[in-house]
Amino acid sequence: MEKVIKNNDKTKFIETIKQIIKGESFTNFEKVIKSDKLSHAYLITFEDEFYNEQFCIAVAITLACGKSQPCFKCNNCLKIISQFHPDVFTYPQNQTFLVDDSISIIRNASIKPMLINYKIFIINNVDKSTIQAQNKILKTLEDTPKNVIFLLNTTDLNNVLQTIISRTLSISLKPLKSESVAQILKAITGKVDYTAINLGDGLPGKTLSLTNQKIAAEYDFILSMLSEMKNTKLIINYINKFSEKSGFLNRLNILQDVMDKLLHANFSSSNDEKIQSLVKDFNVETIYGILNLIVESKKQFEANVNPNLIADYLLFKILEVKYLCNIKK
């Protein structure tokens, strides 16, 4: 999110925050807010950077508004939305959380809040901060001034210092239901892209990155390839298309997503009819084999192996396991 939200983006932003507040994850957290038993510091863990940032802003708005549900109209709500609130700070100030950011927080935390009951510090992607910056803020997290609340978030808890984790209350969020992602998507883009939602794995940020026609076309191509690739004669055309260097890694990622969904569909029915129709061609054993091949294919691509050679081997192996899977039946 930009430092200052443009007027024509405010409506979309507000609608997004509203959808987050309605969600199951936020509802559970809201009970803590309303219990008056707030911790001085929270560490939000979820594998989606976009949602982590918006979730923390939703918490800040809820704390600042003072009403049972944020009104998005009062002075406090509007100032947070515009990122001009004197008691709500968002870090890092640039790309990465640095020592200078920690020094700025230490300085600002010692000043009493001006408009609301709390000074709120949001630190995004704390896992990507420098070790020095994390160490610098430890004392403030351990001996937090009265009426100061820290909202840290991370996509990778393994890259957060254990001393940071021990000084915060960890909140792990779960992937969102498709309906919730659809509402967020509609709030931001004005439409619902079910292909992106199917590929997004309950992660709003990932889903947003997939909402374009090119990705949808690639997804349909992969599904068609898996369905129609029945003999070596047909496979040549698919190899040529799959191995195009532009978008090759993306096609590997989509293939991996499809295989993950097929794996789940082997244990329970999928709502995606195209995925469900492919289950008969791929059992659990063959899917694990293909997933391993995809991982190897990515390594080969990173090592500058010719994409045509990679695609040739990968697709022929997929055809082989399809054949063997159907023979066993």
pLDDT of residue 2: 41
pLDDT digits (tens, 9 = 90+) for 71-96: 999 999 999 998 899 999 999 988 88
pLDDT digits (tens, 9 = 90+) for 142-189: 999 889 999 999 999 999 999 999 999 999 999 999 999 999 998 888
pLDDT of residue 121: 97
pLDDT bracket for residue 328 (50, 70, 90): low
User: Looking at the predicted structure, is the pLDDT value of residue 212 above 80?
Assistant: no
pLDDT bracket for residue 329 (50, 70, 90): low
pLDDT of residue 3: 44
Looking at per-residue confidence, does 234 or 150 come out higher? 150
Which 3 state secondary structure label does DSSP give 246?
coil
Q: Distance (Å, rounded) from C-alpha 135 to C-alpha 96?
A: 15
Q: What is the per-residue burial (b if ≥16 Cβ within 10 Å, else e) of 47-81? A: bbbbbbbbbbbbbbbbbbbeeeebebeeebbbbbb
pLDDT of residue 67: 83
pLDDT of residue 4: 44
DSSP 172: E
In which region does residue 235 sit, left (phi positive, over 0), alpha (psi from -120 to 50) or beta (all else)? alpha
The per-residue pLDDT of the chain, averaged, comes to 87
Q: Distance (Å, rounded) from C-alpha 18 to C-alpha 187?
A: 9
Topology of the domain comprising 212-328: Zinc Finger, Delta Prime; domain 3 (1.20.272)
Mean pLDDT of 204-232: 83
Q: Strands, E, within 88-235: which ranges?
A: 88-91, 119-123, 148-154, 169-172
Mean pLDDT of 192-200: 81
Domain limits of the chain?
Answer: 7-174, 212-328
Q: Which residue carries 């090759």 as its tokens?
A: 248
pLDDT of residue 306: 94
User: Looking at the predicted structure, is the pLDDT value of residue 108 above 60?
Assistant: yes
Mean pLDDT of 264-281: 83
pLDDT digits (tens, 9 = 90+) for 112-137: 999 999 999 999 999 999 999 999 99
Reading the block at residue 200, the tokens are 């997004």
Residues in the chain: 329
Q: At the top level of CATH, which class does the domain 7-174 belong to?
A: alpha beta
pLDDT digits (tens, 9 = 90+) for 279-302: 888 888 889 989 999 999 999 998
For residue 188, CA distances in Å to 2, 192, 204, 214 come to: 15, 10, 11, 19
Strand order in the sheet with 88-91: 88-91, 119-123, 148-154, 41-45, 169-172
